[in-house]
Amino acid sequence: MSTKIGRRFEGKVAIVTASTQGIGFAIAERLGLEGGSVVISSRKQKNVDEAVDKLKNKGLEVVGVVCHVSNAQHRKDIIQKTLDKYGKIDVIVSNAAANPSVDPVLLTQESVLDKLWEINVKATVLLLQEAAPHLQKGSSIVFISSIAAYHPQPAMFMYGVTKTALLGLTKALATEMAPDIRVNAVAPGSVPTNFAAFITKDEAVRKIAEERTLLRRLGTPEDMAAAAAFLASDDASYITGETLIVAGGLPSRL
């Protein structure tokens, strides 16, 4: 299915964390295709270099930075390098996440609880603390939450809880940063990426995941990118504090 893509981000600068593959890469690509200058990042230089090459080969304006979001210096660097190169920041998409354990909640080690909180929630707050002084009227922030925020899944219960926290963070920051800056979230459904490889490894699991949706298919990174681009764009200029669920009709009430 081909999509007609507009040019909503011409003259705009976007930072997308964890953006060298999967949903993050698709978001970076979409913002670039729509005319934005995009700063992508990942923990590994090799992944950053490969993603930058792919995007540049499509004629997009992109720079890559190594950024482990839980590293304070890396957070400072991604903001500073963006400002050094482009002089401003219009859009931040916070996509970094970890799911280091498949243990039940009551058997999850404290170190794992700390890591989940640190990467999935706390690092997002700290990155925005770093970025906020450089945002201006009309800037937009998009968090990537998950359908698991509404229905935590077995083997990823605590991951789901951290994604529920992002729904609250979206509401809190939308209030705090209004009226100049909008804050919204996307909650993807089942999207077969490296991060969620368990969905596609087993054909039976994939089939169940597909049949749970009303549209009888899994999501794609491009589906999520379209939603994130909409929320980040001026088309969504009267939307803030909201979470857009992109899950093919999966039930989604807290």
Q: b/e map of 69-89 (b: 16 or more CB within 10 Å)? A: bbeeebbebbbebbeeebeeb
Assess contact for 193 and 23: CB atoms under 8 A.
yes
Amino acid at 247: A
159 is catalytic: yes
* 3-class state of residue 37 by DSSP: strand
Catalytic position from the list 86, 150, 159, 238: 159
Q: Which of 138, 143, 136 is nearest to 233 (CA)?
A: 138
Residues 6 or more apart whose Cβ sits within 8 Å of residue 13: 36, 37, 38, 39, 82, 86, 87, 88, 89, 90, 91
Q: Determine how β-strand 62-66 pairs with β-strand 91-94.
A: unpaired
**Distance between CA atoms of residues 14 and 81, nearest Å:** 12
Q: What are phi and psi of 201, to 5 degrees?
A: -65, -35
Whether residue 170 contacts residue 142, with contact meaning beta carbons closer than 8 Å, is answered with no
Q: Which residues are the active-site residues?
A: 159
